[in-house]
A and B are shown apart, each in its own frame.
Chain A
């Protein structure tokens, strides 16, 4: 039976990520979803907020605490009603703390629906916080954050 020798794949980056996630596992206590925790410092988010003071507690962002794989993580964002006249949701945006492209999506409601709930699947480049921002017609801004621990595959995948 032939022994194979292939030079180690140049994936120092992946090894660093694995080491880092190991450290993360060791160092972190799983936090409870702190709705009033300060927002992560994301420049694109700051620009989006444009100085407006966001409100916490009403907008709900659901993400699993622990994700199998960062490629597809179930996400649900909900803004419970009822909506007063002129206070309907016009848009909801999603921001990532660690992704190469921080603004993940923006959902718009040209015609406001009675029920504001959106589900999709997001990509997360590693463990991080995600921020949802809802803007109401009257100008109010509501935010929610969620923290996800993203585990990496144990084995390198191939073609």
Chain B
């Protein structure tokens, strides 16, 4: 009886962990919910405003920082080679702190520990530029985060947040992006809410912004308690979103409404 119960518990845990509300074959990038003009803007590397940040990132990569004057290139040489595939794995477990961190935090951790340079502020031009540059090296590669022993707890925390009701409107992320994706909200069509294009140039912001900023915009929109940029819940949610979008190709720099 106890063995049966244990087996059932294992199966249930496994089954729940693998259940996807939107099957892999039905995943649709946010790009497919945008207009033809938006898609054209993203597709044209010159017209894509996000490329301004990727280029800035390329310059920063070669810019000395910290007392020893190290550049990113000092350790990582050409980002096209060294950074390929990296963004596809993030958020990921940071071995030294045993915490799940996003790409922005990874870049800052490198700056602090390897360059002894000050961390870059959230949504600063430089952090957006470096994040965009690194993620750009994974453009076209499928999102593929690892949910295993070290990341499972964070994953569950993120999933819990996703399905819980929040804010004045008592809405969960799932209410819009799982139950109602494809339907209209005023003049907009609700997307599936995937993170694969971030950092993205959002027309609404008239500038580049991170996934964290986009999530915070959503929280603002549903009148929920705001999460600060360094809140672990935000990272947990980003991990869940990346898992949920597994297989979708990275589109950085994305262009979105």
Asked if A159 meets B38 with Cβ closer than 8 Å, knowing A1-B165, A25-B187, A153-B204, the reply is: no
Interface residues on B, range: 35 or more
Q: Is the interface of A mostly helix, strand, loop or mixed?
A: loop
A72/B186 in contact, CB under 8 A: no
A12 interface residue per 8 A CB criterion? no
Give the CA-CA distance A2 to B36 in the complex, in Å. Answer: 41
B221/A68 in contact, CB under 8 A: no
- A-chain residues with CB within 8 Å of residue B74 when the two chains form the complex: none
Asked if A66 meets B206 with Cβ closer than 8 Å, knowing A151-B187, A156-B220, the reply is: no
Q: Which of B209-233 contact A (CB under 8 A)?
A: 216-226
Q: Which residue of the partner chain, among B168, B188, B219, contacts A158 with CB atoms under 8 Å?
A: B219
A71/B203 in contact, CB under 8 A: yes
Asked if A154 meets B185 with Cβ closer than 8 Å, knowing A68-B203, A68-B257, A72-B206, the reply is: yes
A2/B34 in contact, CB under 8 A: no
B203/A74 in contact, CB under 8 A: no
Q: Which of B32-64 contact A (CB under 8 A)?
A: 34-38, 40-41, 49
- A-chain residues with CB within 8 Å of residue B28 when the two chains form the complex: none
Q: Which residue of the partner chain, among A5, A69, A159, contacts B216 with CB atoms under 8 Å?
A: A159
**CB contacts between A and B, total, < 8 Å:** 79
Q: Which of A115-159 contact B (CB under 8 A)?
A: 151-159
Inter-chain pairs besides A153-B257, A154-B188, A157-B205, 19 sampled, C-beta below 8 Å: A1-B165, A21-B187, A25-B187, A64-B35, A64-B36, A64-B37, A67-B37, A68-B203, A72-B49, A72-B203, A73-B37, A74-B37, A151-B188, A154-B185, A154-B186, A156-B221, A157-B221, A158-B216, A158-B226
Q: List 22 A-B contacts (CB under 8 A).
A: A2-B225, A3-B168, A4-B166, A4-B223, A6-B168, A66-B35, A67-B35, A68-B257, A69-B204, A71-B203, A71-B206, A74-B40, A151-B187, A152-B186, A153-B204, A154-B186, A154-B187, A154-B188, A154-B190, A155-B185, A157-B204, A158-B219
Binding site for B on A (CB under 8 A): 1-6, 18, 21-22, 25, 64, 66-69, 71-74, 151-159
